[in-house]
Structure 1
């Protein structure tokens, strides 16, 4: 393996602004589906299980892109890889904007998932071209603009979809991403590959991981419909087991695996992954069920909210999520990671069980969703921080990457379970789930969240100043 020794070119404010504009645009594009999911379900005739699948395919792509984006950046240069990833994202946005049906829209969302690898590459470029002090500020700015973009997308998606069409809610942020990518290509200097030679990308492992995740999502999405056909269900489960076993076998022999399973075997890492998975399952159940409950007809047990109002109702949760990172970091420094994770789990349990008990007023759902979003941010920040400080410095990237990939998988599984619960709870000949299906979903998520306290008890207290 060889490394380049040429000093990096310094970048000006224009290049940093271009990266910030790109983060803002991608955040907006990523967030348009959640507040408009009830509208998309009506227009495309989707079941709740299909709606759940639509809301997570972007994340599944992201789970595959995240482990290899940095390696590709090392091999070919960060700017080159970033621009090509964003070209895929732009293509996905245009496909989503033009999609006449669910399969085409799913394809667009799969392509858009490449954006998950773009933010880490932006951070790499900033650190490559700026001195330490300025790079920290620039990373904070880019991160903040991505969060601001998600809030803007949450607020604007509903009015655009209802005032223009669902096609425009994908098209407008996609045009912004195209413009931002052009600016980055023009203003960001080329960075030479930092490494050449060495082990390549683990393509067999990547393909098998993707097939395993897709099969898992299909099992969860189709479970309510194929329970009456046990042979079909058993066949899918057997296929899932074969793919997962094959992936483990390949990863154990790969020179540069997608996921380092030896790292997963370390107690501090697997405990962090289990915690992250359970916490994100609880978060994602609320992320799917709350907007769906807002959209239920007011003559039944819901509120008849349209996409615009749903976006407004979800905004406090988005604000809480943006504040949770800094609060979690402060809490870890002051009280230690275990204390912050415990507090977050208790807050999330209160939010989930509270939603199961009372959901007859809009403010019930707004408060519950805000508590859950805050708790998720606290837990994830503390878990990532605790993991990063419990492994050797050289293993930090691998260990925290595993936690972040687990976060995506947990969210995807939780959303699919939510869709399956609502589908199973919908009486024959009706498209309205029973209210008890929502209650069961919130209670199940709350129970999973509380059980994660068993793992928290075994954690080290973590960093405390």
Structure 2
């Protein structure tokens, strides 16, 4: 039996505002760990290696949950799945807030990682309850506020942890998430399930989850060094086998988790490839710029400490917030394809210029802000165009695949940046040479520029 919503109930400003507030609170909770990691390591008695597990745990959970949440939202309705997911996230935030040791904190982070699924679920709701033009703007606003939450989290984490305790830096955003979820549940119109009948493709869910986990952990293990060629080959075979098994299952089941015909459509596969390439270049930039800031001023760097770097990156975060709204309005007026092309050109061009102009602090600040703005504009335009290009029943899974691609791409790009610096480290000074940073920026620029080749094959009809 299929239930179709012929005349969707339009959502009002309170419901849309609640979605935005929820995105802001989620972004805040996600970002509080990074600036407070030294404090967490001291309080919990852990070292840097153990501390990095916090980020890895959140990443893996997010990558696994996003496509599942998107699929369940398509099947059972975005609002009800969003409320359930936010219940899980809230439980994770409360557990993190009272965590007495690392294992309990990691449990909290596992549950918090489910927040990544909130984005595709939000896109399902705005797609169902708004006309296409307004959908693009709403997607941009929600994405921008999620990014804005990262800024809030970075700014409030330190003062709250130092003025109150580390427990409150998790508790306060969690309370905001609970409040926003209650408002969403009350003000958002119900969206009936898109379809019912065949069971959820749980085997496909498990295989996709295992593939993503193996990909992220395998890449980190390989790039971290220490693996023999045989072990590296084994990791590659495992990832390939899992991916092949997932494709085989999706081709045979009657109701696949991901419709491979949708994935093979030009609008979908090109969006995924562009997102991956842009995210790889961006991830390398995210890693390289702070490292260059921190190099001693006696060498070729600027000798910046953590507080200085946070201030230097503030314009980039603000640019990322603005990009969400700008991308939605620009896509509505000029078309997604034009916006994506412009963002790609700015990103690649800025990285190439940065490879030779990085002698002053302002150059890095401006370049990082331009790159952050351009990448965010492109990513939001891709999400908005994909949300309106696929069938309504596939909105959640399609946008969640783009979200996962971006998360994984940034993580892999950052790891690749670390490998480049490690390979160019001078044994005498134990510092990467300046030429290594130049090489890294050029490689990141070339990777981003490759996106243009894919954008060219996008149909001009990509713009709604």
TM range (shorter): 0.7 to 0.9
Give the equivalent residue in structure 1 for 2:48: 46
Deviates more, 1:308-317 or 1:21-30: 308-317
Give the Cα separation in 1 of the matches to 2:12 and 2:455.
Answer: 45
Give the equivalent residue in structure 1 for 2:371: 372
Deviates more, 1:263-272 or 1:291-300: 291-300
Give the Cα separation in 2 of the matches to 1:382 and 1:133.
Answer: 12
- Distance apart, 1:305 and its partner CA: 4.0
Give the Cα separation in 2 of the matches to 1:393 and 1:73.
Answer: 11
After superposition, residues 36-115 of structure 1 pair within 5 angstroms as 44-46=46-48, 51=52, 54-55=54-55, 57-73=57-73, 78-97=78-97, 106-115=106-115
Deviations, residues 164-190 of structure 1 (Å, cap 9, x unaligned)? 6655543432333244445556x4589
Give the equivalent residue in structure 1 for 2:242: 243
Give the equivalent residue in structure 2 for 1:259: 258
Deviates more, 1:130-139 or 1:166-175: 130-139
Give the equivalent residue in structure 2 for 1:448: 447
Contact 1:38/1:295 (8 A) holds in 2: no
Q: 1:202 to 1:71 in 2, by over 3 A?
A: same
Q: 1:193 to 1:298 in 2, by over 3 A?
A: same
- Distance apart, 1:40 and its partner CA: 6.9
Deviates more, 1:121-130 or 1:81-90: 121-130
- Distance apart, 1:365 and its partner CA: 1.9
Deviates more, 1:141-150 or 1:376-385: 141-150
Give the equivalent residue in structure 1 for 2:117: 117
Give the equivalent residue in structure 2 for 1:198: 197
Give the Cα separation in 2 of the matches to 1:399 and 1:189.
Answer: 22
Q: 1:430 to 1:269 in 2, by over 3 A?
A: same
Contact 2:341/2:452 (8 A) holds in 1: yes
Give the Cα separation in 2 of the matches to 1:105 and 1:427.
Answer: 37
Contact 2:262/2:390 (8 A) holds in 1: no
Give the Cα separation in 1 of the matches to 2:301 and 2:222.
Answer: 26
Give the equivalent residue in structure 2 for 1:234: 233
- Distance apart, 1:277 and its partner CA: 0.9
Aligned alpha-carbon RMSD (Å): 4.3
Give the SS at the match of 2:355. helix
Give the Cα separation in 2 of the matches to 1:389 and 1:117.
Answer: 18
Q: 1:449 to 1:126 in 2, by over 3 A?
A: closer
Matched, 1:210 2:209: yes
Matched, 1:348 2:350: no
Deviates more, 1:129-138 or 1:355-364: 129-138
Give the Cα separation in 2 of the matches to 1:130 and 1:346.
Answer: 31
Unaligned runs of 5+ in 2: none
Give the Cα separation in 2 of the matches to 1:302 and 1:80.
Answer: 51
Give the equivalent residue in structure 2 for 1:29: 29
After superposition, residues 138-177 of structure 1 pair within 5 angstroms as 145-160=145-160, 168-177=168-177
Q: 1:351 to 1:455 in 2, by over 3 A?
A: same
Unaligned runs of 5+ in 1: none
- Distance apart, 1:81 and its partner CA: 2.7
Give the Cα separation in 1 of the matches to 2:32 and 2:370.
Answer: 22
Q: 1:254 to 1:421 in 2, by over 3 A?
A: farther
- Distance apart, 1:438 and its partner CA: 3.7
Contact 2:144/2:325 (8 A) holds in 1: no
Deviations, residues 187-246 of structure 1 (Å, cap 9, x unaligned)? 458947535632232221122112111111122212244455222222222222221211
Q: 1:176 to 1:457 in 2, by over 3 A?
A: closer
Give the SS at the match of 1:378. helix
Contact 1:162/1:308 (8 A) holds in 2: no
Q: 1:424 to 1:217 in 2, by over 3 A?
A: farther
Contact 1:158/1:307 (8 A) holds in 2: no
TM-score (ref. length: structure 2):
0.80
Q: Number of matched residues?
A: 462
Give the SS at the match of 1:359. coil
Give the Cα separation in 2 of the matches to 1:167 and 1:73.
Answer: 32
- Distance apart, 1:267 and its partner CA: 3.0
Give the Cα separation in 2 of the matches to 1:23 and 1:311.
Answer: 22
Matched, 1:361 2:360: yes
- Distance apart, 1:266 and its partner CA: 2.5
Matched, 1:458 2:457: yes
Q: 1:358 to 1:10 in 2, by over 3 A?
A: closer
Contact 1:290/1:369 (8 A) holds in 2: yes
After superposition, residues 259-408 of structure 1 pair within 5 angstroms as 259-296=258-295, 298=297, 301-332=300-331, 335-384=334-383, 387=386, 399-408=398-407
Contact 1:159/1:308 (8 A) holds in 2: no
- Distance apart, 1:368 and its partner CA: 1.2
Give the SS at the match of 1:286. helix
